[in-house]
Amino acid sequence: MMFRYGPQRRGVYPGGPAQVPLELKWRTSLLRDIASSPCCDDERLYFGSSDCFIYALGLDDGKERWKRRTNDWVMSSPAVEGGRVYIGSKDGNVLCLAAATGEVVWGLQTKDWVLSSPLVHEGRLFVGAWNGLLLCLAADTGQVLWRYQTPDGISSSPALYGGLLYFGCWDGHLHAVSTENGEPVWKADLGREVQATPAVAGASVYVGSKDSHLYCLEAATGRERWRFLAKDEIISSAAVDEGRVFVGSGGFAELDTHLYCLDAEGGSLLWSFRTQGGVESSPSVASGVVYFGSRDRHVYALRASDGQQLWRFETSGWVMTAPAVCGDSVYVTGKDANVYAFTSR
């Protein structure tokens, strides 16, 4: 598992709670806020925190299994593959840790913040850094296989489809490069900084921009198929499931407070749901239910087909991360320094 579940970053998870509404299964409190979206394997939940630690908690009870100190905030979200956890830190390191113990297997210093969340696929790791580098590493050793230089910072996480990597950049473009050697294939001008992570479904790439548009581009060429205008910047990474695209809007100014559902083919608005705060959280979909958070301090569950609210839970801080669905439970990290686990009542 990785941020947005799989390499195409569609935000669609298998399983999920048997029924909604949910109840609190456990809550674990830390000392500092959490901007890292969680990820899991069969036993543990992994994430980073602004207290400079990477954590592993038990899925069943939320108790700490291990923690690993870094030298700065950890805002990157982990990828878990083959008994290892891969994650970046603002101290410039990309780390590979043993999932069972947190022991460092290898580390690579990029010389700038790593906010991007690693993608691990067929023995290779792909990740961006704030100095504009997109790196391809050997997952077992951390050896640099190739690098691609952009003119500005990368906080977007790469998505993979059909031999291409897609990622946003603060230069205002979505880039597509070859997975084989990092050679550029195309780039598309999206008006302003692209902080969101793209989602690939079929032959299309869906990604939001800080110019307040959600774009749908042809995956092979970067040609624009359609765009949708929200009321504020789009930092939320879209989820794509069964012909629908789900994305939030609203940054620090909170000029928009909606989660939108669009037709994936043509971009028409199917429904929208208004919260009381900006929606930077990236929605996660499981078994026909959309889970997401808001700056209004709530976690929401909506019916994917029509946007009807099925459940909500009030936390004590902004919820800006993407929920992770693991088995029959939903896990959420928050700016209130809490980690929440929910399951069916």
Buried/exposed code over 63-93 (b: 16+ C-beta within 10 A; e: otherwise): eebbbbebeebbbbbbbbbeebbbbbbbbbb
Tell me how far apart the terminal alpha carbons of the chain are, to the nearest angstrom: 26
Fold annotation for 32-149: Lipocalin (2.40.128)
The one-digit pLDDT tens for each residue of the chain (345 residues) are: 999 999 999 999 999 999 999 999 999 999 999 999 999 999 999 999 999 999 999 999 999 999 999 999 999 999 999 999 999 999 999 999 999 999 999 999 999 999 999 999 999 999 999 999 999 999 999 999 999 999 999 999 999 999 999 999 999 999 999 999 999 999 999 999 999 999 999 999 999 999 999 999 999 999 999 999 999 999 999 999 999 999 999 987 889 999 999 999 999 999 999 999 999 999 999 999 999 999 999 999 999 999 999 999 999 999 999 999 999 999 999 999 999 999 998
Q: Are 293 and 300 in contact (CB under 8 A)?
A: yes
Is 156-229 the same fold as 32-149? no
Domain residue ranges of the chain, discontinuous segments joined by +: 32-149, 156-229
Rounded Cα distance between 321 and 74, Å, is 13
Q: Would you state the CATH architecture of domain 156-229? A: Beta Barrel (2.40)
CA distances from 238 to 152, 197, 245 (A): 22, 8, 6
Q: Are 36 and 333 in contact (CB under 8 A)?
A: yes
Sheet bearing 329-333, strands edge to edge: 22-29, 338-344, 329-333, 324-326
Structure tokens at 340: 């929440």
Report the SS3 class of residue 73.
Answer: coil
